[in-house]
Amino acid sequence: MYYLLPFRFERLKKNEILVNEAGDYLVVPQNTVERIVNRKIAPTEEIYKDLVSSFFISETPLPDLIDNYATRLRTKKAFLNQFTTLHIFVLTLRCNQNCIYCQASSKECDSNMFDMKVEDLLYAIDLMFQTPSLSITMEFQGGEPSLVPHLLKLAIETAEQKNKVFQKEITYVLCSNSIHLTEEVLSVCHQYKVLISTSLDGPEFLHNRNRGKINSYSQVIAGINQARKYLGDDRISALMTTSDYSLQYPHEIVDSYIENGFNSIFLRPLNPYGLAKDNNWNLYYQHFVEFYKTALDYIIEINKSGNIFVEEFTAIILRKILTPFCCGFVDLQSPAGIINNVIVYNYDGYIYVSDESRMLAEYNDYTFRLGHVRDKYTDIFYGEKAQQLAQIWATEVIAGCSDCAFQTYCGADPVRNYSMQGDTYGYRSTSLLCKKHKAIIKHIFSLLSEREKEVMPIFKTWIKDCH
């Protein structure tokens, strides 16, 4: 006789996946779950040892190594130890592009009324330093933040001065389209070791179409090369956004990243905000999953030829599946990344729980506004709005997530639930985001179970340096 420990399961075409509370998994033959539950697994079977050692069943009411198991679970949730680490400053809504899927409600370049006020910026920095986290990231967004270099410089210099007292480890990130990386901007980036996160949607014809500019691609590539020359190859990374048009070109997009000297790509779908909010999301997510699978297969083939090229979203999921460590990607955390890991100081001085939620505010929806930079830290981070969200931001207690086999690999997202379903709690049975995540995670497990010898050596190189 053995005792059952908490676990969930999912069926693949040929096998079943068992996942325990710590995210450890076993791929087993069909009908194994039924045999486990009905106590039909004999101690002489090889699978019996695997089930015991991986904490799916126990020979005693309380497993002998329960403390080890608790440590593994605690390690998975270690991202909660520091509280808010990512602080996003929206310095301006002004932008010099015209993206067809713009999610930030950007304004014309000469609309300086949409720049953050100096006083609000200084108040926001004061709030940032009140976080208990010893390591923080100060990320500058827009619009296009390089259009306001005086605010960028002031923000960093103020943070540096204050940090002489607080002694935190600060990472600076400039999210830029790389078109306006002037000598002034690059000088600040060089002096303070600022990382640049830029945008590249694929080859020239595709990128220009997505950006609404006939010469965007050439300007972006020139900016990337200039930044590399000035700062170093490892100081600039790129993100792509998969428009409806992009879905036709998975190979071409991957090739463009390789041709432009990048060793990874993040296959990122559209978000339901801004100009993209009225998209046909049911059809889009179906096509995106197929786009992702095609691109991932192509990337695996590239790696088999000896060239390491990483798909970043897959690497994040793999880190959650194959290691005991937590992941810094705020979209896949439980409790949710909002407030716990990320906060946004908008250009107008108001504070939001995430980058996506401030985009809703541009359409006069202030559901996720926490307060203003002039408010008290405790009123913002521990106020009524934050406490309300805390009731529904953990997959462990949300209907449809609590019994899902992929719970430990996924994350709660009240903002996305609200934007797509009109309810912060959300409904997993009709959630397109849930279906998309499950389809991708299930595909990754299919690769691990059906093509293990082929893909595992590749995947291990991907997660070695995953943050």
Whether 200 and 166 have beta carbons less than 8 Å apart is answered as no
How many Å apart are CA 411 and CA 422, to the nearest integer?
18
Last residue of a domain, one of 18, 49, 76: 76
Of 103 and 445, the structure prediction assigns the larger pLDDT to 445
The whole-angstrom distance between residue 193's C-alpha and the CA centroid of its chain comes to 23
Place of tokens 């070695």: 464
Question: Does some domain include residue 313?
Answer: yes
**In this structure, are 59 and 187 located in the same domain?**
no
- So what's the pLDDT on residue 100? 73
- So what's the pLDDT on residue 211? 86
Whether 143 and 91 have beta carbons less than 8 Å apart is answered as yes
**In this structure, are 146 and 196 located in the same domain?**
yes
Question: Does some domain include residue 97?
Answer: yes
Question: Does some domain include residue 351?
Answer: yes
Last residue of a domain, one of 345, 360, 375: 360
Look up residue 92 and give its DSSP letter.
Answer: B
- So what's the pLDDT on residue 155? 98
**In this structure, are 58 and 93 located in the same domain?**
no
Number of domains in the chain: 2
Q: List the alpha helices (DSSP H) in 402-451.
A: 414-421, 432-450
Closest C-alpha among 438, 464, 435, 459 to residue 449: 459
Q: What is the pTM of this model?
A: 0.93
pLDDT at 371 over 80: yes
How many Å apart are CA 196 and CA 261, to the nearest integer?
15
**In this structure, are 312 and 268 located in the same domain?**
yes
Question: Does some domain include residue 371?
Answer: no
Closest C-alpha among 307, 283, 133, 146 to residue 227: 146
**In this structure, are 157 and 37 located in the same domain?**
no
Which positions ≥6 away from 386 have C-beta within 8 Å?
Answer: 339, 353, 370, 380
- So what's the pLDDT on residue 107? 59
First to last CA, the chain: 42
Helix (H) or strand (E) holding 344: strand 342-345
- So what's the pLDDT on residue 213? 76
Whether 371 and 364 have beta carbons less than 8 Å apart is answered as no
Closest C-alpha among 453, 460, 457, 414 to residue 433: 414
**In this structure, are 141 and 199 located in the same domain?**
yes
Last residue of a domain, one of 360, 382, 397: 360
How many Å apart are CA 179 and CA 430, to the nearest integer?
40
How many Å apart are CA 374 and CA 349, to the nearest integer?
8
Q: What is the domain-level CATH number for residue 234? A: 3.20.20.70
How many Å apart are CA 120 and CA 207, to the nearest integer?
35
Which positions ≥6 away from 17 have C-beta within 8 Å?
Answer: 9, 10, 11, 25, 26, 27, 28, 405, 445, 449
Place of tokens 């790129």: 238
Provide mean pLDDT across the span 56-67: 94
Of 57 and 276, the structure prediction assigns the larger pLDDT to 57
**In this structure, are 31 and 146 located in the same domain?**
no
Long-range contacts of 15-22 (CB under 8 A, 24+ apart): 15/449, 17/405, 17/445, 17/449, 18/56, 18/405, 19/405, 19/406, 19/407, 19/408, 20/54, 20/55, 20/56, 21/55, 21/69, 21/73, 21/408, 22/55, 22/69, 22/72, 22/73, 22/76, 22/324, 22/408
Question: Does some domain include residue 32?
Answer: yes
**In this structure, are 72 and 86 located in the same domain?**
no
Report how many helices (DSSP H) and strands (DSSP E) the chain contains, helices first.
17, 16
pLDDT tens, position by position, 12-38: 888 999 999 999 999 999 999 999 999
How many Å apart are CA 410 and CA 128, to the nearest integer?
27
- Computed over every residue of the chain, the mean pLDDT equals 93
**In this structure, are 34 and 98 located in the same domain?**
no
Domain of 328? 81-360
Place of tokens 């408010």: 375
Provide mean pLDDT across the span 249-264: 98
What is the Rg, in whole angstroms, of the alpha carbon atoms belonging to the chain?
A: 23
pLDDT tens, position by position, 90-124: 999 998 877 777 655 555 666 678 999 999 999 99
Closest C-alpha among 235, 136, 128 to residue 176: 235
Question: Does some domain include residue 373?
Answer: no
- So what's the pLDDT on residue 103? 58
Buried b (16+ CB within 10 A) or exposed e, 124-159: bbebbbebebeebbbbbbbbbbbbbbebbbbbbebb
